[in-house]
Structure 1
Amino acid sequence: MQLFKTEQKVYEVSGVKIGGQIGENPMLLIGSIFYQTKSKKILKDPKTGEIDKEVSEDLINQQIDISEKTGVPHGFDVGGGVETPDALVKVVEFVANKTNAPILPDGASAEIRIPAIKRLGEIGLSNRFIYNTIDANATAEELNAIKESKISSAILLAFHSKNIWPEQKLELITGTEEREGLLTKAKKAGIDKILIDTATLDIPSISINARTINLVKDKLGYPAGCGAHNALHTWGKSKEYEKLDKNIVQIKNVMINTLPQAMGANFVLYGPVTHCNYVFPTIAMNEAALTYNALRLNKFKNVNRTGPLFKIF
Structure 2
Amino acid sequence: MHRNRVSRLFKFAKKQKVFEVAGVKLGGQPGQLPTVLIGSIFHKGHKIVKDPIKGVFDRRRAEHLINLQDEYSDKTGNPCMVDVVGETVEALDRYIDFVASITDSPILVNGVESSVRVEASRHAVEVGLKDRVVYNSLNFRCTQEELQVIGELGLEVAIVQSFNPHDPTPRGMLKILAGLLEKVEKYGVSKPLVLTPVLDIPSIGLAATGLKLIKENLGLPTGCPPVGVVGRWKRKSEYSPSAIDSCRGATLALVQTMGADFIIYGSLSKAPRIFPACAFIDAIIAYHARFQGVRPLTRNHPLYRIF
Alpha-carbon shift at residue 273 of structure 1 (Å): 0.5
Aligned length: 299
Where do 4+ consecutive residues of structure 1 move more than 4 Å? Answer: none
Q: Which of the numbers 3, 23, 29 marks the counterpart of 1:21?
A: 29
Q: Which of the numbers 12, 15, 21 marks the counterpart of 1:7?
A: 15
Alpha-carbon shift at residue 189 of structure 1 (Å): 2.8
Residues of 2 paired with 1:250 and 1:146: CA distance? Answer: 38
Kindly provide the amino acid, as one letter, of the partner of residue 158 in structure 2: A
Matched, 1:141 2:149: no
Q: Which of the numbers 127, 140, 143 marks the counterpart of 1:123?
A: 127
Residues of 1 paired with 2:296 and 2:247: CA distance? Answer: 33
Contact kept in structure 1, 2:33 and 2:296, CA below 8 Å = no
Matched, 1:112 2:116: yes
Partner of 1:62: 68
Partner of 1:177: none
Residues of 2 paired with 1:49 and 1:97: CA distance? Answer: 16
Counterpart secondary structure, 1:133: strand
Identify which range, 300-309 or 196-205, moves more after superposition.
300-309
Alpha-carbon shift at residue 74 of structure 1 (Å): 0.8
Matched, 1:76 2:76: no
Partner of 1:164: 168
Residues of 2 paired with 1:285 and 1:5: CA distance? Answer: 25
Partner of 2:104: 100
Alpha-carbon shift at residue 44 of structure 1 (Å): 1.2
Partner of 1:43: 49
Kindly provide the amino acid, as one letter, of the partner of residue 10 in structure 2: Q
Partner of 2:3: none
Counterpart secondary structure, 1:228: coil
Alpha-carbon shift at residue 36 of structure 1 (Å): 2.2
Residues of 2 paired with 1:253 and 1:47: CA distance? Answer: 32
Counterpart secondary structure, 2:297: coil
Contact kept in structure 2, 1:89 and 1:119, CA below 8 Å = yes
Counterpart secondary structure, 2:264: strand
State how 1:254-269 maps to structure 2 within 5 Å. Answer: 254-269=249-264
Alpha-carbon shift at residue 86 of structure 1 (Å): 1.0
Counterpart secondary structure, 2:227: helix
Counterpart secondary structure, 2:83: strand
State how 1:120-269 maps to structure 2 within 5 Å. Answer: 120-174=124-178, 181-241=179-239, 245-269=240-264
Residues of 2 paired with 1:301 and 1:109: CA distance? Answer: 41
Contact kept in structure 2, 1:133 and 1:157, CA below 8 Å = yes
Residues of 2 paired with 1:173 and 1:115: CA distance? Answer: 25
Residues of 1 paired with 2:256 and 2:295: CA distance? Answer: 21
Kindly provide the amino acid, as one letter, of the partner of residue 104 in structure 2: N
Alpha-carbon shift at residue 301 of structure 1 (Å): 4.3
Alpha-carbon shift at residue 204 of structure 1 (Å): 1.5
Alpha-carbon shift at residue 304 of structure 1 (Å): 2.4
CA separation of 1:201 and 1:51: change in aligned 2, threshold 3 A: same
Alpha-carbon shift at residue 5 of structure 1 (Å): 1.2
Kindly provide the amino acid, as one letter, of the partner of residue 306 in structure 1: N
TM-score normalised by structure 2 residue count: 0.94
- Give the % identical residues: 38
Contact kept in structure 2, 1:257 and 1:270, CA below 8 Å = no
Counterpart secondary structure, 1:130: strand
Partner of 1:311: 305
Deviations 1:170-197 (A, max 9, x none): 11001xxxxxx11022213311111110
Residues of 2 paired with 1:9 and 1:290: CA distance? Answer: 19
Kindly provide the amino acid, as one letter, of the partner of residue 124 in structure 2: L
Deviations 1:105-149 (A, max 9, x none): 111111211111112111121210111110000011111121222
Contact kept in structure 2, 1:117 and 1:145, CA below 8 Å = no
Contact kept in structure 2, 1:23 and 1:287, CA below 8 Å = yes
Matched, 1:299 2:296: no
Contact kept in structure 2, 1:210 and 1:263, CA below 8 Å = yes
Residues of 1 paired with 2:208 and 2:295: CA distance? Answer: 26
